[in-house]
């Protein structure tokens, strides 16, 4: 959420930010409501001061009943007017808060124009795409043939996009988790396992609602299943005053994640590309309120994931997201896309974003600066390792001519030293 004072003083800049993000919000209406809000608050406070002054006079009147009655009578009209203004303020505040939550953060000047991910700009490509001299198989064929997954039973038990990981398929997922944990802890991250079942205010605080409700699972108790560990991790620090000396606070959060994938019913229906239930390790960073600090940490956390992917030996591209492909709260976002040989295309595996104080203002996460002045911290996040999606590129890129699937060297210690996955003997 942006500061209303900033919105008032930078109306045109806020409008331009909304335009670039292709988000419709009536900034003029918000400012009009804010003027009304401020006028009502001022009137209410003035009347309260008057009531306090007269209350003191009533006390001073002592035992003079005539004077006390006169003063009490004079306050009836003031109280009635105050009541009307308070009722009106409540109505104004409902609409004011609704519009405040809808105002997007202002994208960085380096964010390119565009309406969708098709207009994202490649900033980097890494790795050599292998030339296979045998008939390629996609991850679904390999995983079913090698008894690494069962998509049929997954659909029977869990419904559309359901899956079971089995044998080395499940082991490989655990190996990625363990390797990722060790990889990021060496980079100074604190490891946390965080809940995916969260309250509405956690999603509002991180900017996922209003606006993203269609992609969320909701319980009968009006709680939600989050699609990323960022939601619970950021909310862990809500309503706290952090110690500046502890900055940057770097957390590697692990959690189950859930997404309805609303609007993508016909996209990537089969396999592990787009599932409703998955597991993810997420980088979350809190730092001091300084643009340069945020930019530096943004580059750092994105580079962390690039280095992780490079250590697995999977070709990738990094893109900077256009205005129409970054969310309500992001100032700037990178996506990392992994090469999928079976499709001869890149698929998104990670997003890195920074928010300035958009989330921390909503969640009331502050710190004291050098002058002991309270400030809202800056926040950032970036995917570390999402499973099972990462298995798609891993398995397809490492298939061998002899029918086996090689295991990346960095994962072998977490697979009991196993160097490859062989077809089960009972499979022809």
Q: Catalytic amino acids?
A: 259, 274, 348, 351, 389
Q: What are phi and psi of 175, to 5 degrees?
A: -65, -40
Task: Give the span between the Cα atoms of 122 and 18, in whole angstroms.
Answer: 23
Specify the pairing of strand 190-193 against strand 249-258. Answer: parallel
Contact 336, 309 (CB under 8 A): yes
The set of residues, in sequence order, having a beta carbon less than 8 Å from that of 262 and lying 6+ positions away, is 214, 215
The CA distance from 187 to 306, in Å, is: 14
Q: Is the peptide bond before 307 cis (omega within 30 degrees of 0)?
A: no
């Amino acid at each position: 959420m942006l500061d209303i004072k900033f919105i008032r003083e930078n109306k045109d800049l806020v409008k331009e930010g909304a335009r670039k993000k292709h988000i419709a919000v009536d900034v003029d209406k918000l400012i009009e409501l804010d003027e009304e809000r401020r006028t009502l608050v001022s009137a209410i406070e003035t009347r309260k001061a008057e009531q306090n002054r007269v209350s003191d006079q009533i006390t001073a009147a002592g035992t003079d009943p005539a004077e006390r009655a006169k003063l009490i009578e004079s306050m009836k009209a003031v109280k009635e007017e105050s009541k009307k203004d308070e009722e009106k303020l409540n109505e104004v505040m409902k609409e004011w808060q609704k519009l405040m939550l809808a105002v997007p953060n202002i994208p960085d000047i380096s964010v390119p124009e565009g309406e969708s991910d098709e207009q994202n700009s490649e900033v980097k490509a890494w790795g050599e795409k292998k030339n296979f001299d045998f008939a390629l198989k996609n991850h679904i064929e390999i995983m079913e043939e090698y008894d690494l997954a069962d998509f049929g039973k997954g659909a029977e038990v869990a419904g559309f996009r359901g899956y079971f990981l089995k044998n080395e398929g499940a082991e490989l997922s655990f190996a990625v988790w363990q390797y990722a944990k060790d990889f990021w802890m060496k980079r100074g991250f604190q490891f946390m396992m965080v809940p995916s079942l969260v309250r509405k205010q956690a999603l509002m605080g991180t900017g996922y609602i209003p606006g993203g409700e269609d992609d969320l699972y909701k319980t009968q108790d009006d709680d939600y299943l989050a699609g990323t560990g960022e939601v619970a991790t950021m909310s862990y620090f809500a309503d706290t005053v952090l110690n500046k000396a502890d900055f940057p606070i770097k957390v590697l959060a692990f959690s189950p994640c859930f997404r309805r994938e609303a609007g993508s019913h016909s996209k990537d229906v089969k396999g592990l590309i787009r599932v409703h239930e998955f597991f993810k390790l997420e980088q979350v960073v809190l730092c001091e309120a300084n643009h340069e600090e945020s930019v530096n940490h943004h580059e750092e956390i994105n580079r962390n994931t690039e280095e992780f992917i490079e250590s697995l030996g999977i070709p990738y591209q990094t893109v900077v997201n256009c205005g129409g492909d970054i969310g309500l709260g992001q100032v700037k976002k990178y996506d990392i896309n992994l090469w999928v040989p079976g499709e001869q295309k890149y698929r998104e595996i990670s997003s890195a974003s920074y928010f300035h104080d958009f989330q921390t203002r909503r969640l009331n996460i502050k710190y004291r600066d050098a002058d002991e002045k309270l400030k809202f911290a800056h926040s950032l996040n970036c995917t570390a390792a999402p499973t099972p999606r990462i298995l798609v590129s891993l398995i397809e890129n490492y298939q061998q001519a002899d029918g086996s699937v090689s295991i990346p060297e960095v994962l072998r210690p977490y697979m009991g030293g196993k160097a490859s996955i062989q077809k089960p003997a009972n499979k022809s």
